[in-house]
Chains A and B, each alone.
Chain A
Amino acid sequence: MEAMARRIQIELIAFFCCLVTTASAQGGSSNILVSYSFDDAQLATGPDTFAVFAKSRGTVRLSGTNKLSGYRSVEIRDVAGDGDFPELQGYFAPRSKGKLFLHFAFMTATPHEEFNIALAGPQWFNLRKDGIGFWLKSREGHLCQISDSMPKKLFLLEPFVWYVLNVTYDIDHGTYDLLAHREGIEKPIVSLERQANGPNQPGSVVDKFSFIGDTGEDKSNVTYYVDDVLVGIDESIVHLPFVAPGRKKLFIDYWSEAQRDRHTQPGPIAAIGLADFGIRQKEMDALKAAGSWELLLQLINGQAVSSGVPRQASAELHQLLYAVALWSEGVKALRDRKAADALKSFDEAFALVPSAKIYAMNAVLSLVALQQWDVVDERLSRIYADWQDDVRFVPAMAAIGLARDRLDEAEQWLQGPAEQVPDELGQSLVRQLRSGPITPGLLQELKLRFPDNWDDYIKDAFVAEQYFLVLLWKNQAAAAERFAQRMADRYEALGIPNSRWYERMGDAAFFSGNFTMALQQYEKGLKGNEQNPGILVKLSDVYFRLGDLEKERVYREKIYGAIESE
């Protein structure tokens, strides 16, 4: 539950550290004035790029769960009655004539909660000349445009559906053409020409855009996502396709990327959220209040080092920042194949902030690089509960399996013990170990019950999993599926819950592209284990691949929350 909560919480890294302007922004030779993909890892806040306002309880942050393309979108979440609204506000050089082309995508989780999207000028977000030029708002579940000073309905918003909008904004005439696409529908759902701009004012200058919650009575509890924002003076922008290489990033994508990135030696696992560093809302607020936010971002981006972390008024904040600095140094060391240095840094960081799960995992990966297998399994078992439902865990486990030796040798070495499920599994502890999460409590009990060989049981459990993953890694999905089937059958014969192996069979089927089979296996895996977030995510992904967006939504909402009904 804690792991699930952690995933649902701030899933992805601080908005600031990754919000990217590929910003050919301002004045480059490109015809793109602004481009926000939210995928890279540069930091470019400022008066010429963008600002984020999240002073009250609302938030603006990256989301890896819901995105149109790439890895991330931006989630804007407003909280009613908190006295303020969250805002992503971007800037570009003022345009007083000619045409401007705007392309962006959005998706709302809460169609009946108000949000506003606008393009404005030096008179800011007021309905007047040089103020708001282009304005969209949601109203009673519909998306509306404010044209000629009046709201006009465009279409009924569906929750968790991406819409892509292309706008050709004619500054001289004070009009715009609007094209809106909905995911899953080839033809545009809205195609309007020569719409009067907000205040019906020709020659109205524009130099900024904004995404916010509600503007008036602070009643909105909206959560919506924005992706692929492009502003430019090149018409090709409005001809951008409805790019949805993955409307969401499937669990399999993490695997494929890890496969591409990993070599013989495991590298550090990537941080995807501030929670990885033990930094949650409370700590974020404290860091901002202490004026240390910028430093945190620099540390995450590797632009500052531990010796540059000043003594803070709060020892807790100092520890947080110092640990991030150590992590950053450890990441660099591990990439440079200095695993001993990396291990030292990660261990020190973990000692400072034990709630930061990324430090311990990267310490394990450093130990793998050092081939200290006796410690690897013991350490891995300690953090298993924190990581087992994390999408980064499966490729990490595969990489660990591979690193035990060369690939073929690893398979030979693994094949024996992996299939040797003991005939006598009377001990409930061993049953738990094989069928459920490895918790610190279980680990402690194992050590007490089997003081001499407790780590053999741990290794045995890991080896089966790693063997399966090595098969997958070698693209031997059919062999992996057969192995998982044998494991499931054996477990069943021994009376051990085997849902995990059905999940693995589903994984193998998914990798083979047999989504119907994957669906069946995941559903079996879910029996008696209905709240398993790992399987729910995969079911959502399978339905997505099968083109059933409704069921995709049903399973996604089981993890990330239900949408309020009308």
Chain B
Amino acid sequence: MWFPFWISRSCIAFLALLTWSLVLKLDASPAVDLNTVQTMVAAGKIAELKVLGRDVLPVMARLYETAALAERTRIAQTFYALGWKSADAKRVLIKDVHTPNQQLRLEVQWALGRVSNDDEVVTVLLNNMQNDANPLFRDKAACALASDQIHLTEQQKVRLFAGLIQALGDSKPDVRRIAMLALQIQTGQTKGFNPDGPVAERDAKIREWKQWLEEYKSNL
């Protein structure tokens, strides 16, 4: 198809302008380089990182993978502070969700829910809350479930609530206590569940919670 000459000229001019503006744009886009991010993370410059935007997340994930323990802890803290969803962050953090290093473990457990609403995060935290050998890690996993699952949808909370209600029946009193506390922070109520009460009474209250969960699901 032929176009009048002036249109062709216009098109060429337009394409030239477009190309030039793209060049300028590329040239003007802020560089998110590894060293800059590393420096900011080390200095705890959260506000500056936020200015750089979410492009820092994969860079931080790369840094995390090659960092020593202390630096990983700082990066995990930074992921937590940013509170931005990132599959890269979740991928690298979850590898350390069972680390015996206390500081790193706590930071990772806290940060995971703030970078991801993947089902795996809730699952692994519920598992740590109930089954980790270290009571401190169990307790802080419960804290993370109570307060840091900031990206969960109402549908995704079903898994969280189900896990916490199931943990109310745990044989370990501290697990029952922290599960109840997490549930209370999430819902604002206890339904009278006493973690140290008699088994029959606890079972009755757990049934109440299960009924509540069924109603919750039916409203979704």
**Could you list which residues of chain A lie within 8 angstroms of chain B, going by C-beta atoms?**
126-129, 131-132, 139, 148-153, 198-201, 216-217
Residues of chain A with a CB closer than 8 A to B14's CB: none
30 contacts between A and B (CB under 8 A): A126-B188, A127-B187, A127-B188, A128-B184, A129-B188, A131-B188, A132-B188, A148-B189, A149-B186, A149-B187, A149-B189, A149-B212, A149-B216, A150-B215, A150-B216, A150-B219, A151-B154, A151-B219, A151-B220, A152-B219, A153-B219, A198-B188, A199-B187, A199-B189, A200-B189, A200-B191, A201-B188, A201-B189, A216-B150, A217-B150
Residues of chain A with a CB closer than 8 A to B159's CB: none
| B74 → A minimal CB distance (Å) | 23
A199 touches B216 (CB 8 A): no
Interface set, chain B 167-200, CB cutoff 8 A to A: 184-189, 191
Q: Which 4 A-B pairs have the closest CB atoms?
A: A199-B188, A149-B187, A127-B188, A128-B188
Residues of chain A with a CB closer than 8 A to B184's CB: 128
Name the residue on B nearest A127 (C-beta). B188
**Could you list which residues of chain B lie within 8 angstroms of chain A, going by C-beta atoms?**
150-151, 154, 184-189, 191, 212, 215-216, 219-220
| A248 → B minimal CB distance (Å) | 34
Residues of chain B with a CB closer than 8 A to A216's CB: 150-151
Residues of chain B with a CB closer than 8 A to A198's CB: 188
In addition to A150-B215, A199-B188, A217-B151, 11 A-B residue pairs with Cβ atoms within 8 Å of each other are A127-B188, A128-B184, A149-B186, A149-B187, A149-B189, A149-B216, A151-B154, A200-B188, A200-B189, A201-B188, A217-B150
A198 and B187 alpha carbons, distance in the complex (Å): 9
| B130 → A minimal CB distance (Å) | 22
A201 and B190 alpha carbons, distance in the complex (Å): 10
Residues of chain A with a CB closer than 8 A to B186's CB: 127, 149
| A110 → B minimal CB distance (Å) | 19
Residues of chain B with a CB closer than 8 A to A151's CB: 154, 219-220
Residues of chain B with a CB closer than 8 A to A127's CB: 186-188
A126 and B147 alpha carbons, distance in the complex (Å): 11
| A216 → B minimal CB distance (Å) | 6
Residues of chain A with a CB closer than 8 A to B185's CB: 128
A-B contact count (CB 8 A): 42
A161 and B48 alpha carbons, distance in the complex (Å): 43
| B168 → A minimal CB distance (Å) | 15
Residues of chain B with a CB closer than 8 A to A139's CB: 154
Residues of chain A with a CB closer than 8 A to B215's CB: 148, 150
Residues of chain B with a CB closer than 8 A to A152's CB: 219
| A114 → B minimal CB distance (Å) | 12
A149 touches B188 (CB 8 A): yes
| A112 → B minimal CB distance (Å) | 15
Residues of chain A with a CB closer than 8 A to B219's CB: 150-153
Residues of chain B with a CB closer than 8 A to A149's CB: 186-189, 212, 216
Given known A-B contacts A127-B188, A198-B188, A201-B188, A148 and B212 have beta carbons under 8 A apart: yes
A152 and B154 alpha carbons, distance in the complex (Å): 11
| B162 → A minimal CB distance (Å) | 14
Main secondary structure of the interface of A (DSSP, over half): loop
| B69 → A minimal CB distance (Å) | 31
Name the residue on A nearest B152 (C-beta). A216
| A188 → B minimal CB distance (Å) | 21
| A153 → B minimal CB distance (Å) | 7
Name the residue on B nearest A217 (C-beta). B151
Name the residue on B nearest A83 (C-beta). B50
| B123 → A minimal CB distance (Å) | 21
| B207 → A minimal CB distance (Å) | 16
A256 and B186 alpha carbons, distance in the complex (Å): 54
Name the residue on A nearest B191 (C-beta). A200
Residues of chain B with a CB closer than 8 A to A126's CB: 188
Residues of chain A with a CB closer than 8 A to B154's CB: 139, 151
A335 and B15 alpha carbons, distance in the complex (Å): 61
| A128 → B minimal CB distance (Å) | 4
A39 and B154 alpha carbons, distance in the complex (Å): 38
A267 and B178 alpha carbons, distance in the complex (Å): 70
From B188, B189, B216, residue with most partner A Cβ within 10 Å: B188
Residues of chain A with a CB closer than 8 A to B189's CB: 148-149, 199-201
From A126, A128, A148, A153, residue with most partner B Cβ within 10 Å: A148
A216 and B151 alpha carbons, distance in the complex (Å): 8
A152 and B220 alpha carbons, distance in the complex (Å): 8
A192 and B219 alpha carbons, distance in the complex (Å): 16
Name the residue on A nearest B151 (C-beta). A217
Name the residue on B nearest A197 (C-beta). B188
Name the residue on A nearest B50 (C-beta). A83
A126 and B185 alpha carbons, distance in the complex (Å): 9
Name the residue on B nearest A216 (C-beta). B150
A558 and B187 alpha carbons, distance in the complex (Å): 44
Residues of chain A with a CB closer than 8 A to B216's CB: 149-150
A153 and B154 alpha carbons, distance in the complex (Å): 13
Residues of chain B with a CB closer than 8 A to A200's CB: 188-189, 191
Name the residue on B nearest A174 (C-beta). B189
A128 and B183 alpha carbons, distance in the complex (Å): 11
A126 and B188 alpha carbons, distance in the complex (Å): 8
| A126 → B minimal CB distance (Å) | 7
Residues of chain A with a CB closer than 8 A to B188's CB: 126-129, 131-132, 149, 198-201
A201 and B184 alpha carbons, distance in the complex (Å): 12
A463 and B78 alpha carbons, distance in the complex (Å): 70
Name the residue on A nearest B117 (C-beta). A217
Residues of chain B with a CB closer than 8 A to A129's CB: 188
| B138 → A minimal CB distance (Å) | 23
Residues of chain B with a CB closer than 8 A to A150's CB: 212, 215-216, 219
| B104 → A minimal CB distance (Å) | 27
A127 and B185 alpha carbons, distance in the complex (Å): 8
A399 and B19 alpha carbons, distance in the complex (Å): 58
| A357 → B minimal CB distance (Å) | 36
A139 and B154 alpha carbons, distance in the complex (Å): 10
A506 and B185 alpha carbons, distance in the complex (Å): 61
Name the residue on A nearest B215 (C-beta). A150
| A200 → B minimal CB distance (Å) | 5
Name the residue on B nearest A147 (C-beta). B219
Name the residue on A nearest B185 (C-beta). A128
A201 and B151 alpha carbons, distance in the complex (Å): 26
Name the residue on A nearest B83 (C-beta). A217
Residues of chain A with a CB closer than 8 A to B151's CB: 216-217
A127 and B191 alpha carbons, distance in the complex (Å): 14
A198 and B186 alpha carbons, distance in the complex (Å): 12
| B136 → A minimal CB distance (Å) | 25
From A126, A149, A151, A199, residue with most partner B Cβ within 10 Å: A149
Residues of chain B with a CB closer than 8 A to A199's CB: 187-189
A149 and B161 alpha carbons, distance in the complex (Å): 11
A127 and B186 alpha carbons, distance in the complex (Å): 7
| B126 → A minimal CB distance (Å) | 19
A151 and B212 alpha carbons, distance in the complex (Å): 12
| A333 → B minimal CB distance (Å) | 50
A127 and B187 alpha carbons, distance in the complex (Å): 6
Name the residue on B nearest A204 (C-beta). B188
Residues of chain B with a CB closer than 8 A to A217's CB: 150-151
Name the residue on B nearest A144 (C-beta). B219
A301 and B191 alpha carbons, distance in the complex (Å): 53
